[in-house]
Amino acid sequence: MAQAHSMGKRYVKAFFKGFFVAVPVTVTFLDRVACVARVEGASMQPSLNPGGRQASDVVLLNHWSIRNYDVQRGDIVSLV
């Protein structure tokens, strides 16, 4: 019984170590490299949400290109 308690304690400790490493890495990635966003409404039709669908499109916002000034004609730029 004591051995099972020790194993459980070790797994919980490993989970929290991984959690406290994964959260800052994920936040940094989403802030500096890229993040995912939903596009809803008619403002981007017909390129996104064609045909007046009720479903939203999902796009990848590339922060890396903006930081390197790699924006070209025809790119869609999102401002917050």
What pLDDT, on the 0 to 100 scale, is given for residue 24?
Answer: 92
pLDDT band at 22 (very low <50, low <70, confident <90, very high): very high
Task: Tell me the average pLDDT across 69-74.
Answer: 86
CB of 58 closer than 8 Å to CB of 78:
no
Helix (H, G, I), strand (E, B) or coil at 47: coil
Cα-Cα-Cα-Cα dihedral of 43, 45, 50, 55, to 10°? -10
pLDDT band at 7 (very low <50, low <70, confident <90, very high): confident
What is the model's pTM?
Answer: 0.57
CB of 34 closer than 8 Å to CB of 67:
no
